Amino acid sequence: MAELTFWTGTMDAGKSTLALQTNHNHAARGRVGRLFTSHDRAGVALVSSRLGLTQHAEEVTPELNFWRYTVDALTAGARIDYFVCDEAQFYTPAQIDQLAKVVDELQIDVFCFGILTDFRTRLFPGAARLVELADRTEVLQVEALCWCGKRATHNARTENGVMVTEGEVIVVGDVDNVETRADDEVEVAYEVLCRQHHRRGMTAARARAVSLAPDPLPFGSA
Ligand SMILES: Nc1ncnc2c1ncn2[C@@H]1O[C@H](COP(=O)(O)OP(=O)(O)O)[C@@H](O)[C@H]1O
Ligand SMILES: Cc1cn([C@H]2C[C@H](O)[C@@H](COP(=O)(O)O)O2)c(=O)[nH]c1=O
């Protein structure tokens, strides 16, 4: 039986690496698959892993209809055993429904990879639909860590080094490098945090600044 699987974790948890490994392992056994992505940091129609691998993929735009795409390909004589879908949080809920239909009606395995929540801690609509429809939702075993050493569970966005909780939902960026946006010169970056430090807006830089602040002088004390 074909399955719809959703592999999730924070940014930098190893999802794209696992997506490329999954594709490699299935292809190595003679299965025929297609690789999809959306808004990858490395550019259009690419799946890139921070471990250094990058592979060409098909870019998912909101107009893509997975059901029609698959039926057209099969009708034209193509063989498809599986789909690997990276950055699946950016797919529309309708596209996730189409993927579920591809699994059930055409017996094609669909492996999706993506983050659950955005920088505001809200579910991405595509990720929410995946949790609702997937046969299995798996959290990546490799833990991304907050600066305090606890497991990182949330994605924070910084603008010019300051954590923000308002703004556009989709802004491509990385956990290491700041992205200079031409339009308003704001430098956008991401950082993974535990819930407590996300709630408090306590990024690594802010924690460092607080710990370096001089102790208040003991005026008034006995
Ligand atoms: N220099 C490195 N040496 C070993 N592992 C690394 C290195 N750089 C990145 N990684 C691993 O790659 C992971 C990020 O992989 P990636 O697939 O790009 O993540 P995701 O798609 O979830 O954002 C990191 O959590 C880390 O485990
Ligand atoms: C939290 C959050 C992330 N993004 C973007 C930033 C990255 O380009 C991708 C996540 O990629 P990764 O392979 O999981 O590191 O998503 C965003 O647009 N909005 C957000 O709120």
The yes-or-no answer on residue 87 being catalytic is: yes
Render pLDDT for 52-92 as a digit per residue (tens, 0 to 9): 999 999 999 999 999 999 999 999 999 999 999 999 999 99
C-alpha count within 13 angstroms, C-beta hemisphere, residue 81 = 11
How far is the centre of ligand 2, averaged over its atoms, from the C-alpha of 90 (Å)? 9
Separation between Cα atoms, residue 86 and residue 18, nearest integer Å: 10
Q: How high is the ipTM of this complex?
A: 0.98
Render pLDDT for 14-63 as a digit per residue (tens, 0 to 9): 999 999 999 999 999 999 999 999 999 999 999 999 999 999 999 999 99
**0.90 exceeded by pTM:** yes
Q: How far apart are the first and last CA of the chain?
A: 76
How far is the centre of ligand 1, averaged over its atoms, from the C-alpha of 42 (Å)? 14
CATH of domain 4-139: 3.40.50.300
Query: Is the CB of 51 within 6 Å of ligand 1?
Result: yes
pLDDT of residue 185: 77
Separation between Cα atoms, residue 151 and residue 195, nearest integer Å: 9
CA 137 to chain centre: 14
Ligand 2 residue neighbourhood (C-beta within 6 Å): 11-12, 15-16, 41, 115, 118-119, 155, 157, 169-173, 190
As annotated, the residues of the chain forming the CATH 3.40.50.300 domain(s) are 4-139
